[in-house]
Structure 1
Amino acid sequence: MPSLKSLNARQKRLFLKAVEPPLALAHLASRLLTLDLLRDHSLPEPGPIRILIVRLDTIGDVLLSEPAIAALRDRYPQARIDLVASRWGHELLAGNPAVDGFVEYEGPWHAAWRGRKVRWGQELRRMLAVLQRLRRTRYDLAVELRGDFRDIVFLALTKAKAKVGNSHRGGGFLLHYDARADLTCHRVDFALAIARVAGAAMPARPPRLYLTEGERRRAEDLLPPDKEYIAVHLGAGFPSKRLPISTFAAVGRRLCEKETHRRLVIVGGTEDRDLADEFAKLSGLPVVDLAGRVSLRETAAVLERCRLFIGNDSAPMHLAAAVGTPVVAVFGPSEPANYRPYGVPHRIVETSLPCRPCDHVHCIQSDYLCMTGISADEIVGAAEELLALAGAMAGRPSGSTQ
């Protein structure tokens, strides 16, 4: 019997459909025994209420939820709004006026799916401690923005008065208000649809980062204004989303060998260090290598100074879009309609294969053809097109540093 980790998205949905009815009956029995059905679970009116937002997954997903969080602040300007997210999510949204407080917690089920080793006993104790803290706050409203059965279970255990989410992956019986958002829409719009069920009415907008002057000065020190900088991110959340480094190296050579005014900037975390070293060896180009050497927010400030970003579907791709930098995004197993760069000029480079999108961590065909089948020519063509567009919008040809 295959493990849950090896199942694709469709198989997981079928599994949840099978287990959800008995769980729903057990939950109904619990509500009857505790008289919860008799309690008022209506949405609160604007005022000095307490709101909890749950976003337990990746950096990029937290960022794509920022417009929904802002929309909830717009609806409830006097509320105290707390966000439960990973430490990276907290760092990312530091200084955001929509969030008053942070509770650090990342769903271990998401980490396990990405291949990280999880100590489940330790994680269970940690989760119970976090839930105890959240229950003491007695939230008037709790909103889960991913639409994930496991995250909805976490939401339900907070004992918030009114619980809002999206049950497309199951868990609707645990919610008081179910958004049932369109699964084909972008994840920014998906989260906004949930926020609207919670009373928000703000129109859609791209995610925002609130960078400090100190972070921008640090980026300026790293990237003096004498070059045209092109940011490159070589990594991704899991192997099936990574373009071969040899292809990235070929792209870099094509873009920079004869254009001496251009300089590549390698961004990413400490997990991308080996990839950066391999790129330097294969490309032979002088680069500004910042992978694992600056903070997440400093990375965003660096991306803000770049003329273009090239990379896989990943958090840095969404960071680049959030600071207004045009993006060439390479997509493999994930669906561009859900995760494309939002609100900036961009080009999607992808292959047309019957097995995509699949959302598998490892390729079930074993050849990663959706990534290995992408050529350097396709990426360079998209990059040059966006560089020309950026130059025209700035009123100067691509490559001018004046």
Structure 2
Amino acid sequence: MKILIMKFRNIGDVLLTSPMAETLATLPEPPEVTFLVKKGTEAMLTGHPHIKQVLTVPERQKHESPWTFLKRQLAFIQQLRAERFDISINTTEGDRGLIFGWLSGAKRRIGYLKPNDKGWRKHLVTEPHLMRQGRRHTVLRNLDLLTNIVKPQTINVSIHYTPLDEMRVLDLLKQAGWNQEPYVHIHPVSRWFFKCWRDDYMAQTIDTIQSELNLKVVLTCAPDTKEREKLNHIISLCKTKPLDLGGKLSLKETAALSSQAKFFLGVDSAPMHMAAAVDTPVIALFGPSGAFDWGPWPNGWDQFEVNPYPQRNGMQQVGKHTVIQQDWKCAPCGKAGCEDSKRSRCLDELTPFQKHADISILQLAKIYSC
């Protein structure tokens, strides 16, 4: 059996589909699994022992004519059809996955439809699903699509890197001044700045970890100009000197860095999910997004019908991981900051010393450092 799974979202979303491959591998006759994703996200799945191949959707190149691009798209569709997939699975409610699933020629086409879907979309799937109502983690929503094929058992998110990735991380750490002391991985930024904590609070937390907990802090960010500027501002506010690897690591190298950290501290972002995937304890600060959807996944979870983060907000601890979020009525709002203002009061007013279930962020860091 050959199965095509599609996820046309961002890095973290793609990583959270990895349990689908591991679950399918538990079948008496494991299928050949192919993933189809956006270019730039494939590193989240490559190297997985239960994934045959990871394909990316063709994108129009700069200065490429529409005709040349169309020919490349048609060639890619022929490549998909030549695989002769038995089943296609679209993991979102978007059109593109439904269309590619139909174009693949798979006879069984599984996918999410919207409650009021009518017309052509309904004809692209043979086994339609509706999203379950209520709080259900993204990992579980992905796995819901497999229930007619296999029932999930132990659920793990995983990312796979190589010894070369580990060696490069060690080299960069040494170049930055690392003396092989224990370290904390902090990724303080997100592509969406309304998910970020205040720079001064982050700097204060970095200083406390380094001066009072005697741990080195290693900072990372994406190779993006705005993220780099934000990281520079945080570093300028620090009284101590953290190690700066911002913009220097690949995605797999970022996972390798997290794997050796005492713990990870950051906001709702792809590196947060990557740290959890390599079983490093995570302290995650959440603002407008819900932990019930996006909390760091606790590997080894075996309760398919139970959300590991059942609360709407507040502090939630699951296994090695802790999510901290204001217990305000408006949190999470699911917006791009308060009233889509790109600023989130729930994060701006979250201080390092504020108590959540009788413990603050800094006290939690002290516990995790032991």
Q: Report TM bin, short chain.
A: 0.7 to 0.9
Provide the TM-score with structure 1 as the length reference: 0.73
Work out whether residues 181 and 194 of structure 1, in 8 Å CA contact, stay in contact via their aligned partners in 2: no
Work out whether residues 56 and 107 of structure 1, in 8 Å CA contact, stay in contact via their aligned partners in 2: no
Q: CA deviation at 1:161?
A: 1.3
Identity of aligned residues (%): 24
Work out whether residues 209 and 217 of structure 2, in 8 Å CA contact, stay in contact via their aligned partners in 1: no
SS of the aligned residue for 1:188 comes to helix
1:256-301 deviation per Cα after TM superposition (whole angstroms, max 9, x unaligned): 2334x21111122112322221111011321111121011111101
Q: CA deviation at 1:123?
A: 12
Matched, 1:318 2:273: yes
Matched, 1:237 2:224: no
SS of the aligned residue for 2:200 comes to helix
The 1:172–1:262 alpha-carbon spacing in structure 2 relative to 1, beyond 3 Å, is: farther
The 1:317–1:225 alpha-carbon spacing in structure 2 relative to 1, beyond 3 Å, is: same
- Partner residue in 2 for 1:364: 339
- Partner residue in 2 for 1:74: 26
For 1:306 and 1:356, locate their aligned partners in 2 and report how far apart those are by CA, in whole Å: 30
- Partner residue in 1 for 2:262: 307
Matched, 1:266 2:212: no
- Partner residue in 2 for 1:166: 112
Matched, 1:251 2:170: no
- Partner residue in 2 for 1:175: 125
- Partner residue in 1 for 2:293: 338
Work out whether residues 307 and 387 of structure 1, in 8 Å CA contact, stay in contact via their aligned partners in 2: no
For 2:80 and 2:205, locate their aligned partners in 1 and report how far apart those are by CA, in whole Å: 48
Q: Bigger CA drift: 362-371 or 158-167?
A: 362-371
Q: CA deviation at 1:347?
A: 1.7
- Partner residue in 2 for 1:210: 160
Q: Which runs of 5+ in 1 are unaligned?
A: 1-48, 109-118, 392-397
Q: Which runs of 5+ in 2 are unaligned?
A: 299-318
Query: Greater helix share, 1 or 2?
Result: 1
For 1:255 and 1:105, locate their aligned partners in 2 and report how far apart those are by CA, in whole Å: 43
The 1:142–1:235 alpha-carbon spacing in structure 2 relative to 1, beyond 3 Å, is: same
SS of the aligned residue for 1:196 comes to coil
Q: Bigger CA drift: 302-311 or 370-379?
A: 370-379
For 1:76 and 1:313, locate their aligned partners in 2 and report how far apart those are by CA, in whole Å: 37
SS of the aligned residue for 2:98 comes to helix
For 1:149 and 1:123, locate their aligned partners in 2 and report how far apart those are by CA, in whole Å: 23
SS of the aligned residue for 1:163 comes to strand
Work out whether residues 189 and 204 of structure 1, in 8 Å CA contact, stay in contact via their aligned partners in 2: no
Matched, 1:131 2:77: yes
Work out whether residues 102 and 124 of structure 2, in 8 Å CA contact, stay in contact via their aligned partners in 1: yes
For 1:313 and 1:172, locate their aligned partners in 2 and report how far apart those are by CA, in whole Å: 34
Matched, 1:228 2:182: yes
For 1:162 and 1:304, locate their aligned partners in 2 and report how far apart those are by CA, in whole Å: 38
1:179-227 deviation per Cα after TM superposition (whole angstroms, max 9, x unaligned): 4353421111111111223x02231412012332232333344276742
- Partner residue in 2 for 1:375: 351
Alpha-carbon RMSD: 3.1
Work out whether residues 219 and 305 of structure 1, in 8 Å CA contact, stay in contact via their aligned partners in 2: no
Work out whether residues 288 and 337 of structure 2, in 8 Å CA contact, stay in contact via their aligned partners in 1: no
- Partner residue in 1 for 2:314: none
For 1:279 and 1:318, locate their aligned partners in 2 and report how far apart those are by CA, in whole Å: 22
1:345-395 deviation per Cα after TM superposition (whole angstroms, max 9, x unaligned): 12212123444333333542634212212112249923533542x46xxxx
- Partner residue in 2 for 1:384: 363
Letter in 2 for 1:180: L
Provide the TM-score with structure 2 as the length reference: 0.79
- Partner residue in 2 for 1:32: none
Letter in 2 for 1:79: P
Q: CA deviation at 1:151?
A: 3.2
Matched, 1:189 2:144: no
Letter in 1 for 2:208: R
For 1:106 and 1:253, locate their aligned partners in 2 and report how far apart those are by CA, in whole Å: 45
- Partner residue in 1 for 2:94: 148
Q: CA deviation at 1:236?
A: 1.3
Matched, 1:347 2:347: no
The 1:230–1:106 alpha-carbon spacing in structure 2 relative to 1, beyond 3 Å, is: farther
Q: CA deviation at 1:311?
A: 0.8
Q: Bigger CA drift: 201-210 or 362-371?
A: 362-371
- Partner residue in 1 for 2:310: none
1:116-153 deviation per Cα after TM superposition (whole angstroms, max 9, x unaligned): xxx9x799846565434323433211011234355334
- Partner residue in 1 for 2:311: none
The 1:361–1:153 alpha-carbon spacing in structure 2 relative to 1, beyond 3 Å, is: farther
- Partner residue in 2 for 1:277: 232
Letter in 2 for 1:155: G
For 1:356 and 1:106, locate their aligned partners in 2 and report how far apart those are by CA, in whole Å: 38
For 2:59 and 2:129, locate their aligned partners in 1 and report how far apart those are by CA, in whole Å: 22
Which of residues 10, 14, 18 in structure 2 aligns to 1:58?
10
The 1:241–1:75 alpha-carbon spacing in structure 2 relative to 1, beyond 3 Å, is: same
1:219-262 deviation per Cα after TM superposition (whole angstroms, max 9, x unaligned): 34427674231111121132321222222112212322334x21
SS of the aligned residue for 2:293 comes to helix
Work out whether residues 152 and 174 of structure 1, in 8 Å CA contact, stay in contact via their aligned partners in 2: yes
